[in-house]
Amino acid sequence: MANHLRKPVEEVPLDATFEQLGMDSLDSVNLLFEIEDEFDISIDDQEAKSITSVPQMVDGIEVLLARKAASSEAAPPTA
Amino acid sequence: MNRVAITGVGVISAIGRNVPEFWDSLCEGRSGIAPLQTVDTSTLRFKNGAEVRNYQSSDYFDEKQSQVYDRFSEFAVIAAREAVRDAAIDLTPELKTGGAVVTGACVGGQTSEDKEFEGLYRHNRTRCHPLTIPRIMGNAGASHISMEMGLQGPGFTLSTACSSAAHAIGLAFWLIRSGGAPVAITGGSEAPFSLGLLKAWEAMRVVSPTTCRPFCKDRNGMILGEGGAMLILEPLEAARARGARIYAELCGFGMSSDAGHITHPSTEGPALAMKRALADGNVDPACVGYINAHGTGTDVNDPTEAGAIREIFGDHTENIAVSSTKSMHGHGLGVAAALEAVATILGMHYGILPPTANFTELDPAIHLNIIANQSRPAEVECALSNSFAFGGLNAALAFRRV
């Protein structure tokens, strides 16, 4: 997150809102893109709109990672 | 200074392959948004677009022509043919020598480019088709129109994303007004449907997974469209002298730049474009009865545009009927403003204002008099058509009934 915003880590508090971090709409789509790449998850456009802070983002990623783990257990890769 | 008449129009779009079909769909509020046919959408988050469905190049062009035309150039030529026919204008040697062709295009020959590059990257081909460059160049539409019609005057293509055709029509208007050309074919064309480009739009997160609902509370984005739309412009006196049918006068053109953010629009920039179009056409704001809005259906555009309209028109805003026909023909990028200009002047000419289709419930943050779902009979003296591009480049066209 700090890398993405090109800020030192200490300037990105864990409870910050995106607004406090000065993020605009392009920063948001860039961040979503990087998170999807990093965690190999897919984030729905509409759900993404309701996320407005770092803690919400972390919770959201955890939910999606749990969902991914559950679905890969349910259907193990065949190859 | 000439006054400028619009004497012919031509269209190919998702809601009609010619002007009568296009007008019928607009009057009925019939949307052309449907699952995309020309691109495999299985890996895309959205599946819908406003395509010219079941389009066959061979319905319009011989094999030799098809070989050198990209889909977007074909749309340009098809619309230009109909516009010239519709104007019933005799292109005399004098008109041909000076006649202008000014078109808008945003992504150029996307279909051909994607196909050729896919061959290189995916199928390990080592070369491109020799006609790739003439197919994909952004000015190909203008070139093929000038060749087919034999027009040797000013010819150029403008690329200002979603405003391209508005800038093109506006500059062609100024050419005719100043005497720089005796006649002009102007408008835009676009054929943006390739997997690569759709993936790029997907990543912007502004495309609706369902449909385009401009100004609605539950809107969830834009829907891409394609097509071609052309207008014939000539001096009003010349049009009257030859007894031409005149749809409307194109009387004002205004441009502005947000000088702000690359994708986030401002209120000030669009307001300036409208203000300048009104001033350029000497239009009293109180005479404006209809605005064909940019109205993309995204979260950000619609309230911003509504704010800009109110800034210019104040309390008169309530008397102005507003619609976004993108709800029917989609957001055609480089052709968008030309489709909307045609929708606007047909509306003025026939006294029926086209609606915003797919309309559910007005966003409470938007205070506009929206024509919802049903076209509205109304005689308007003046109308505006707005176009606001990514990159903050804005254009507005003003029309007057004659």
CB contact under 8 A, A26 and B262: yes
Instruction: Determine contact, residues B387/B294, Cβ cutoff 8 Å.
Output: yes
Q: Are B150 and B382 in contact (CB under 8 A)?
A: no
B396: region left, alpha or beta (phi > 0 left; psi from -120 to 50 alpha) = beta
Helices (H) and strands (E) in chain B, counts: 14, 15
Instruction: Identify the band that residue A4 occupies on the pLDDT scale cut at 50, 70 and 90.
Output: confident
pLDDT tens per residue across span B41-52: 999 999 999 999
Q: Is B286 on the interface with A (CB under 8 A)?
A: no
User: What residue type is assigned to position B375 of the chain?
Assistant: S
Q: Are strands B321-323 and B288-292 parallel, antiparallel or unpaired?
A: parallel
**B22 within 8 A of B9, measured Cβ to Cβ:** no
Q: Using CA atoms, how far apart are residues B143 and B159, in angstroms rounded to an integer? A: 15
Q: How far is A36 from chain B (nearest CA, A)?
A: 11
Set out the domains of chain B in order of their start, with CATH numbers: 4-241 (3.40.47.10), 252-400 (3.40.47.10)
pLDDT value at position A77? 55
What is chain B's pLDDT, residue by residue, as a tens digit (402 residues)? 999 999 999 999 999 999 999 999 999 999 999 999 999 999 999 999 999 999 999 999 999 999 999 999 999 999 999 999 999 999 999 999 999 999 999 999 999 999 999 999 999 999 999 999 999 999 999 999 999 999 999 999 999 999 999 999 999 999 999 999 999 999 999 999 999 999 999 999 999 999 999 999 999 999 999 999 999 999 999 999 999 999 999 999 999 999 998 888 899 999 999 999 999 999 999 999 999 999 999 999 999 999 999 999 999 999 999 999 999 999 999 999 999 999 999 999 999 999 999 999 999 999 999 999 999 999 999 999 999 999 999 999 999 999
Per the structure, the complete domain to which residue A63 belongs is given by 2-74
- In whole angstroms, how far apart are CA B31 and each of B47, B214, B223, B269, B368? 15, 13, 11, 30, 22
pLDDT tens track for B179-233 = 999 999 999 999 999 999 999 999 999 999 999 999 999 999 999 999 999 999 9
Cα B205 to Cα B197: distance, rounded to the nearest angstrom: 13
- Overall number of domains in chain A: 1
Q: Is B45 on the interface with A (CB under 8 A)?
A: yes
Residue A41 forms part of a structural domain: yes
Residues from chain B contacting residue A32 (CB–CB below 8 Å)? 205
Residue A32 is assigned to a structural domain of this protein: yes
Q: Is the pLDDT of residue A5 over 80?
A: no
What DSSP designation does A18 have? T
Sign of the alpha-carbon torsion through B338, B344, B349, B354: positive
Measured over the CA atoms of residue B41, residue B45, residue B48 and residue B49, the dihedral's sign is: negative
* A21 vs B397, residue with greater confidence: B397
Instruction: Search chain B and give the residue with CA nearest A46.
Output: B220
| DSSP letters for A26-55 | HHHHHHHHHHHHHHT----HHHHHT--BHH
Of the partner residues B209, B221, B263, the one whose CB lies closest to the CB of residue A25: B263
Cross-chain Cβ contact B203/A45 below 8 Å: no
Eight-state DSSP code of residue B319: G
What gap in Å lies between CA B229 and CA B349, rounded to an integer? Answer: 17
Structure tokens at B358: 């797919």
Flag whether A79 is in a domain.
Answer: no
Residue contact B45–A48, C-beta within 8 A: no
Question: How high does pLDDT run on average in chain B?
Answer: 97
Bridge partner list, B228: B12, B189
Count CB pairs under 8 A between chains A and B. Answer: 22
Residue B67 C-alpha from the chain's centroid = 26
Helix ranges, B230-325 (H): 236-241, 268-280, 301-313
Q: Measured on CA atoms in the order A21, A27, A29, A32, is the torsion positive or negative? A: negative
One-letter amino acid identity for A2?
A: A
- Residue A19: DSSP 8-state: T
Residue with tokens 């296009």: B22
Residue A61 domain-assigned? yes
Question: In which band, very low, low, confident or very high, does the pLDDT at A78 lie, cut at 50, 70 and 90?
Answer: low
* Residue B221 Cα, gap to closest chain A Cα (Å): 10
The answer, for A24 touching chain B at a CB cutoff of 8 Å, is: yes
ipTM of the complex: 0.77
- Verify whether the Cβ–Cβ distance B261 to A46 is below 8 Å: no
Q: Residue A64 is inside which H or E element, if any?
A: helix A54-74
Q: What is the length of chain A?
A: 79
> Which among B311, B82, B276, B109 has a CA at the least distance from the CA of B192?
B109
Instruction: Tell me the CATH number at A8.
Output: 1.10.1200.10
How far apart are the CA of B299 and the nearest CA of chain A, in angstroms? 10
| Band of pLDDT at residue A9, cut at 50, 70 and 90 | confident
Tokens describing residue B378: 């109304």
Place of tokens 């061979």: B58
List the strands of the sheet with B248-257, edge to edge.
B155-158, B100-104, B184-190, B227-235, B4-13, B248-257, B393-400, B382-388, B288-292, B321-323, B369-370
CB-based contact A45 B205, cutoff 8 Å: yes
B-chain residues within 8 Å CB-CB of A29? 203-205
